[in-house]
Amino acid sequence: MSGLGIPVLEHRLANGLRVVLSPDHTVPVVAVNLWYGVGSRNEVAGQTGFAHLFEHMMFQGSSHVPKNRHFELVERAGGTLNATTWFDRTNYFDTLPSHHLDLALWLESDRMGWMVPALTEETLRNQQAVVMEEKKQRYDNRPYGDWDERLQRLVFPKGHPYHHKVIGSMEDIGAATLEDVRAFFSTYYTPGNAVLTLCGDFDPDDALARVDHYFGEIPAAPPPPPIPGTSHIPSRIGETVRDLVQDDVPLPRIYLAGRIPVYSDPGFHAAQLGMSILGEGRASRLFRNLVRGSGVAKDAGTHAFPLTTGSGMYVAWLTGFHGAEPDALAGHLTSEMEGLVEATEQELDRVKALASTRMLASIEDVSERADLLSMFACLFGTAERLNTEMDRLLAVSVEDVRSFGSEYLGEDNRALVIYEPETEDERAA
Amino acid sequence: MSLPLDRTQPPAPGPLRSFEFPPVPEDSLGNGLALRIVRLDRLPLVSTMLVLDAGEALLPAFRSGMAQLTGRALQGGTGRRSGEALAEALENLGVELGVSTGWDATTISLTSHADRLADALALVSEIVLTPSFPEAEIDRVRGQRLASLRQRRMSPSALAEDLTGYLVYPPGHPYARPASGVAEAVSGFDRVAAREWHAQRYRPGGAGLVVVGDVDPDEVRELATASFGDWTGEVSQPTAETPQASGDPGVRMVVAHRPGAVQSELRIGTVGVGRRHPDFFALQVLNTILGGAFTSRLNLNLRERNGFTYGVRSRFSFRRGSGPFTISTAVGTDVTVDAVGEALGELKLLLEEGPREEEVSAARDFLAGIFPLQMETSDRIASQITRLILYGLPSDHLSTYRDRIRGVSLQDAWEAGRRVLGDAAYVVLVVGDADEIAPGLEELGHGPVEILSEDSLPPFYPNS
């Protein structure tokens, strides 16, 4: 397979806004997707969680759109919408019947261009409370909920943009002022720091004229400041670091992580496929050897995070059974990871086949396709890269995967977070 | 686009573009296996689902969990291949096979490149028709499930889900237990049980094969015949009566005590209706107004006005039998009592005073409008069609869905809501710190608050 053949048209408005258009008339729907090049990596000490808190504020009304009107109008039109915040970006997405395209453009342009005057103390207080409940629901009130925070602290040194988690700390979320929020908006929510992608049922020339109509008058702004802190770090951690957590968890669980190449590095794809050989599917090493074979694992898996700033991260995890010895579990996991240096052609073919099916399935949905196009435009400067992404995966050789294993999966690049169920005595103490 | 832009008003929509989902032709093989094929040629991709009349609700209590466990053990091996060899054969085709079991059915699903369909169907047939259920795989699946039950007990949201069914339905009703099974029954799962369940329920009568994607329907029919034509057998329908779910109207308050919890999982539940209930469309509209969308009454109150929660939703779980109606949210410990009061108040207000005309029209527009999004991809279309087979819905259900929704009046929605949710027996369940919450709940005046301690939880979970 060479190229997915998705139509991709790229433009840039005079104010710097990048626009990606990908028509598809199968179903009369359109996805409107915006990536802003701001995430938790842009936060400074004392302001962790700001990018995400700000994402919430973007639904609290803009100059011509009262609070909650955005949701009301899109839902009434028969659309869905949401937004997410991640390390490197914040994305906003509306998917709606295609005859309502203008509605989405009007709403998104209003909050890109006319947001600051609508920010109020009342809506900020309300969303601070909502975000605190979100943090409790997603992280604090569930077993193992702090695993990612603990891993990030071990994998990325203090001062690195990925050292802290996206949701931030309760203290920082609570301390945000209206002035902070205004400053954050003016710095990062600028046309030049955004990508707007439309995917679905529209005529590209007509749609581009509409985009210019709604977004064209938003003034250009200076580029955002450099990412704070020290992005450049060694390619490996340099040692094995451990964090033993005795906690109110049901079963012992091991999280293992380390640095890997950044997404833009050719080595990332070898990391991605290597992780897939190890932990994806029932024919993966972890399932075959530890879940099905020796049976020491209740479940296990892997993931390569596509990150851009200084270093990426892989994560592997394994849940043991009641009463299992955590150190022994960690030993099983690390020795499977080391085994990647003996990956076979057949294993690589398997994960390439899985990746190929997944890629096709992910572009079937206009919303997901639009998000991928925005991602490639935002992170790599061109949305067209989506069409050749599969080729890059297929070009990875078994030698590439083995080299990745020997360079990155040794004991000089390991962070272990080990959860051990606390005993009744410890709980009472 | 030359007119000056007036930002103060939302732009008018363009002309509505038609979306007609054609009725899906009803076909079947000679053995009774229903066959539904939809051609969708945008990408060289195909989604396949095989739906079996093999759900958890059919099982007696002492066998609970067996439908799920048999599904889990299904990929453990066949007469010809080990589980490991099966996994390799499937994944070399780029296929990950999903087996999911709910109250009403077991569904085997996969998405593949269109040119791999023939090989994939042959493998699905081998797995579904000739599983060998090796002892080691049965043991593994049982051990994993017992460990999962241990995890459910310690996960506030999973515990809340399990306890809601337990409190809403009478003892002995299938919906009163977790769909994942209870510890004692799971401990007894063995090869004999798996083989027996498979022999009874993995049968073409009552089952359906749905194929959606870049395919030639005639070819798919031939492939289906080659893979499933020799399969035989019917499934029997259950004869045992399930206990009637009913209770005195009112509100029963229960707190599952988690000392020191930083947040409360809150559920408000009662018995809803089945999937084939005549009020299905009216209740969808009513629920959208109450808690089925972001701008529903509950979310605007609890989240956007009060900041009690990250989000709240209500839903009817439409099953073959009368599944529950549930309001679900997670709220701060210190605002739990207020959140319960507000949620009950919104429910009461909606049922007593009825929805407003503009709310009904917004809900209709939302439900009719998002329908194309639910029919956008091959796997979503396949999933919708499996439900037609499972619940015996007419073949034009999908093509008439939007008109049926648009036909719901304010009166229809309100009356359906009053019939089903008015004068009902409600359970308010809080999984949280009882010391902080129970006294305030008492003051809401719905009677005494029952406390479930660690020791008084129902026997769903492994001991120690």
Burial A49-65 (b: 16+ CB within 10 A, else e): bbbbbbbbbbbbbbebb
For the residues B87-112, what does the mean pLDDT come to?
97
Q: In which band, very low, low, confident or very high, does the pLDDT at B3 lie, cut at 50, 70 and 90? A: low
Q: How confident is the model at residue B4 (pLDDT cuts 50, 70, 90)?
A: confident
DSSP B123-150: HHHHHHHSB---HHHHHHHHHHHHHHHH
Task: Answer whether residue B274 shows pLDDT above 80.
Answer: yes
Query: Rounded CA gap, B379 and B46, in Å?
Result: 8
Question: Which residues in chain A (214-253) have CB-CB distances under 8 A to chain B?
Answer: 214, 217, 248-251
Rounded mean pLDDT of A232-250?
A: 96
The answer to whether the CB atoms of A250 and B112 lie below 8 A apart is no
Mean pLDDT, rounded, of chain A: 95
Angstrom CA distances, B225 to B25, B230, B235, stand at 17, 8, 20
* Six-digit token string for B309: 């929660």
Of B13, B94, B144, the CB nearest to A357: B94
Measured CA to CA, the distance from residue B392 to residue A369 in angstroms comes to 34
Query: Does residue A377 have a pLDDT over 60?
Result: yes
Answer whether residue B35 shows pLDDT above 80.
yes
pLDDT in tens, A7-26: 999 999 999 999 999 999 98
Element (H, E) at A20: strand A18-23
Per CB-CB distance under 8 Å, the chain A contacts of B86 are: 282
Strands B263-271 and B208-213: unpaired
High-pLDDT (> 90) share of chain A, %? 96
Edge-first strand order for the sheet with B34-39 is B27-28, B34-39, B208-213, B45-52, B106-113, B98-101
Residue A229 Cα, gap to closest chain B Cα (Å)? 31
Nearest CB neighbour to B113, from listed A63, A129, A357: A357
Q: What number is the average pLDDT over the span B13-27?
A: 85
Rounded Cα distance between A414 and A334, Å, is 9
CA distance B133 to B191: 6
- Residues recorded for chain B: 464
Asked if B302 contacts B314 with a C-beta cutoff of 8 angstroms, the reply is no
A274 three-state secondary structure? helix
Nearest CA in chain A to B139: A295
B285-341 pLDDT tens trace: 999 999 999 999 999 999 999 999 999 999 999 999 999 999 999 999 999 999 999
Q: Could you tell me which residues come within 8 angstroms of residue B219 by beta carbon, excluding any fewer than 6 positions away?
A: none
Q: Do A201 and B376 touch (CB under 8 A)?
A: no
Sheet of strand A312-320: strand arrangement: A240-247, A414-421, A253-260, A312-320, A297-305
Q: Tally C-beta pairs within 8 A across A and B.
A: 222
Name the packing angle between helices B66-73 and B135-154 (round to 10°). Answer: 130
The answer to whether A376 touches A37, Cβ cutoff 8 Å, is: no
Please, is B406 exposed, middle or buried when counting C-beta atoms within 10 Å of its C-beta (0-12, 13-18, 19+)?
Answer: middle
Say how far apart CA B286 and CA A349 lie, in whole Å.
51
When mean pLDDT is compared over A130-144, A295-309, B228-242, the highest value belongs to A295-309
On chain A, the residues whose CB falls within 8 A of the CB of B111 are 357, 361
Backbone angles phi, psi at A213, to 5 degrees: -60, -45
Instruction: For chain A, say whether B331 makes contact (Cβ under 8 Å).
Output: yes
The span from the CA of B332 to the CA of A364, in Å, is 39
| Phi and psi torsions of A311, nearest 5° | -160, 150
A64-118 pLDDT, tens digit each: 999 999 999 999 999 999 999 999 999 999 999 999 999 999 999 999 999 999 9
Residue window 85-124, chain B: list those with CB within 8 Å of chain A: 86-88, 90-96, 111-113
- Whose tokens are 């309502």? That residue is A100
Rounded to 5 degrees, φ, ψ at A323 are 90, -5
Only one residue has tokens 């985009």, namely A211
The chain-wide mean pLDDT, for chain B, equals 95
Residue with tokens 């301690």, as numbered in its chain: B453
Residues A345/A283, Cβ–Cβ less than 8 Å = no
pLDDT at A2 over 60: no
pTM over 0.90: yes
Q: How far is CA B183 from CA A276, B390, B431, B462, B464, in A?
A: 33, 29, 21, 5, 12
The secondary structure of B327-379 as a DSSP string is EEEEEEGGGHHHHHHHHHHHHHHHHHH---HHHHHHHHHHHHHHHHHHTSSHH
Question: Are β-strands B309-316 and A297-305 bridged in parallel, bridged antiparallel, or unpaired?
Answer: unpaired
Residue ranges of B 131-160 with Cβ closer than 8 A to chain A: 137, 140, 143-144, 147-148, 150-151, 153-157
Instruction: Name which of A72, A106, A142 is nearest B11 (Cβ-Cβ).
Output: A106
Dist. CA B71–CA B198, nearest whole Å: 9
- A 5-34 near B (Cβ less than 8 A): 24, 26-29
Considering CB atoms only, which of B83, B310, B332 is closest to A292? Answer: B83
Q: Hey, is the C-beta of A1 within 8 angstroms of any chain B C-beta?
A: no
